[in-house]
Amino acid sequence: MRCLIVDDEPIGRSIVEDFVGQTTSLELCASCEDAFEAMNILQKESIDILFSDIQMPKINGIELVKSLPFPPAIIFITAHRAFAVDGYELNITDYLLKPVSYERFLKAVNKVAARIESMKNSIPQPSAENSLYIFLKANNKLNKILIDDIFYIEVIKDYVKINTGKNIFVTLSSMKAIEERLPADKFFKIHRAYVVALKHIKSIMGNMVELSNGDVLNIAKIRKEDLYKALNINDTL
């Protein structure tokens, strides 16, 4: 899970950064000293968990969360017990009272993981062969993506990027997990990093494929012959 830390106190940030580093399920996207910097990152990045102090200058943690149209899971970290009431009114996942132990930190993280897993299981997915759409958690919300809108899928380490031409969705997943939700007759894996929609292939030039949106992707040599078969091309160039 990708996380963001915001705390105006360097010591507070350092402690949470250390806890994140000890937790294999977490990836630190950024660590900020104020809400303005955090807002900027939240607009650009897909964040699963926001660890935020509450009492900060100019914009406090509560005001930060209220300003977010699609907030990620929120874990407030505060030195003041009185702020906890306000936190629960915002439907946060958990709040931690400073000084925070790693055990208590991990309990809060596991609570987020359980909620995300529960959310995935509660969304009915049509069978891959007959599916018209998939739901995907990206950009801090669940997105309904039409199968016909997908140009290609790219894997980047532990993340998968889905390109629909108009939008790009980045989610924590594996390529295999996404492939299993797509109709096999409409998509083809041209490279270990790419799965493309067959209908959006515009041209093939050597070991490159051009899509109808103008993007050009590499074809693995061992996949080229099978790609021609999938496209019903008898004469290779």
> How far apart are the C-alpha atoms of 146 and 159, rounded to whole Å?
20
Judged by phi (left if over 0) then psi (alpha if -120 to 50, else beta), residue 21 lies in alpha
> How far apart are the C-alpha atoms of 153 and 57, rounded to whole Å?
42
pTM for this model (two decimals): 0.54
Query: CB of 51 within 8 A of CB of 4?
Result: yes
What CATH fold (topology level) applies to the domain 128-230? OB fold (Dihydrolipoamide Acetyltransferase, E2P) (2.40.50)
What are the pLDDT digits (tens) for 131-175? 688 888 877 788 889 999 999 999 987 788 999 988 999 888 888
User: In the chain, which residues fall in CATH 2.40.50.1020?
Assistant: 128-230
Q: Provide the Cα torsion 90, 96, 98, 102; round to 10°.
A: -150
Instruction: Say whether 183 sits in a helix, a strand or coil.
Output: coil
Question: Which neighbouring-strand residues pair with 201?
Answer: 211
Q: Which residues contact 151 (CB under 8 A, 6 or more apart)?
A: 163, 164, 165, 196, 197, 200, 211, 212, 213, 215
Query: CB of 91 within 8 A of CB of 75?
Result: no
Query: CB of 182 within 8 A of CB of 131?
Result: yes
pLDDT, position 28: 95
What CATH fold (topology level) applies to the domain 2-121? Rossmann fold (3.40.50)
User: In the chain, which residues fall in CATH 3.40.50.2300?
Assistant: 2-121
What are the pLDDT digits (tens) for 2-16? 999 999 999 999 999
Query: CB of 126 within 8 A of CB of 174?
Result: no
What are the pLDDT digits (tens) for 14-36? 999 999 999 999 999 999 999 99
